[in-house]
Amino acid sequence: MPRPLSKIAPGWWDYTTLDPELLGDAARLTATDLAELKRPGFEVRIIDTLEEFYLAEALEYINAWRQSTSDNPVGICGPIGPTEQLPLVARLVNDLGLSLRSAHFWGMDEWLIEGRAVSHDHPLSFARADRELCFDRIRPELAMPAANLHFPTTEVSEYEASWSGIRCAVMQGGQGEVKHWAFNDPVRRTGQFADAPPSPEIYWELGTRAVELHPLTLVQNARTSGGGNVPLVPTHALTVGPRQTRLAECVSIWHPGVHDNPFGMRLTTLMISKGIADSAAPMSLLANHPNVRFTFYRGGIGTCEAEMH
């Protein structure tokens, strides 16, 4: 039986093309149900306050970098959304006197405009945000060497090579409304994917690359970063690949309830818990990763009950 067309963008794959029964099961989940979806290889945590939530997120950086030595360098791959943890990371490094001389950091994404990655001084640059919110705030004697900061650029080979020989303790991120991590969006419904989205096996082989963003991703980024000004948002970006994601010892996804909605957070938790991997909801592919952790802010979990506003 053919899969339905997307209710968001009929020329694309996305979570609205999934089995309606699965979507209904997700909508019925309570906060208690979410916590019970943990299984071996998939941890689910719920944190009661935003202060503790972002502190715990920042501590993932600290705990990863503490493991790093000159003969066994360790890094973390980090997001731009959420960002509230980044100033906390800098403060913890400074207050603890933690030297980052052997530590590494990989940025997840960068915008593409007219086929080129934006420069680090561009106002939209993710690398610029990482530096201004975190790395430029760290005391010089503790700071990570510039060569240990890795950001995607138009020629992705250097970025991909940086993953060789360095242990990635954690890949940390959020979840977008189209159910992505980084900018690993669903693909257009065309060509070899006209009748079905890429299989998990095909999607997991994708490396760091240029991607066209799903229309829902454009709307989300306009909402969270541009006051709703969709024309401001670039249509393409560079993103860390699933192939690099497989190298991370842990994939840690943080759900403050801002970037995705109550339904979306429930859907991917259910899919990963039940081992349902479908690239129409790319986050669900983490069902095939051996160590995934979802952390929720309790106040952001919300409900999926109908409520008129």
Whether 2 is covered by a domain: the verdict is no
pLDDT at residue 252, as a whole number: 98
User: What pTM did the predictor assign?
Assistant: 0.96
Whether 162 is covered by a domain: the verdict is yes
d(CA 229, CA 218): 10
Whether 82 is covered by a domain: the verdict is yes
d(CA 185, CA 213): 6
Whether 58 is covered by a domain: the verdict is yes
- Please name the helix (run of DSSP H) or strand (run of DSSP E) that holds residue 168, with its range, or none: strand 167-173
Q: SS3 of 87, please?
A: helix
Whether 145 is covered by a domain: the verdict is yes
CATH number at residue 28: 3.40.50.1360
Please give the full DSSP string across 89-142, using - where no structure is assigned: HHHHHHHHT---TT-EEEE-EEEEETTEEPPTTSTT-HHHHHHHHTGGGS-TTT
Contact 51, 88 (CB under 8 A): no
Dump pLDDT digits (tens) for 269-292. Answer: 999 999 999 999 999 999 999 999
pLDDT at residue 221, as a whole number: 87
In the β-sheet with 209-212, what is the strand arrangement from edge to edge?
116-117, 109-113, 236-239, 209-212
Whether 6 is covered by a domain: the verdict is no
Mean pLDDT of 207-228: 92
Whether 40 is covered by a domain: the verdict is yes
- Residue 85 gets which letter from DSSP? H
Is the pLDDT assigned to residue 201 strictly greater than 80? yes
Whether 3 is covered by a domain: the verdict is no
pLDDT at residue 122, as a whole number: 85
Residue whose entry in the numeric block shows the structure tokens 């202060």: 51
pLDDT at residue 33, as a whole number: 97
**Chain centre distance of CA 95:** 28
Is the pLDDT assigned to residue 80 strictly greater than 90? no
| Residue 175 Cα distances to 146, 193, 203, 220, angstroms | 28, 24, 17, 11
Position with higher pLDDT, 211 vs 224: 211
Domain total in the chain: 1
Is the pLDDT assigned to residue 308 strictly greater than 90? no
Please give the full DSSP string across 56-78, using - where no structure is assigned: HHHHHHHHHHTT-BTTB-EEEEE
- Banded model confidence at residue 294, pLDDT cuts 50, 70, 90: very high
Is the pLDDT assigned to residue 199 strictly greater than 80? yes
Dump pLDDT digits (tens) for 222-247. Answer: 888 778 889 988 999 999 999 999 99
pLDDT at residue 239, as a whole number: 97
Please give the full DSSP string across 173-230, using - where no structure is assigned: E---TTS-STT-PPPBS-GGGSSSPPPHHHHHT--SEEEEPPHHHHHHHHHHHSTT-G
What value does the mean pLDDT of the chain take?
A: 96
pLDDT at residue 226, as a whole number: 79
Task: Give the domain extent around 145.
Answer: 15-301
Contact 272, 231 (CB under 8 A): no
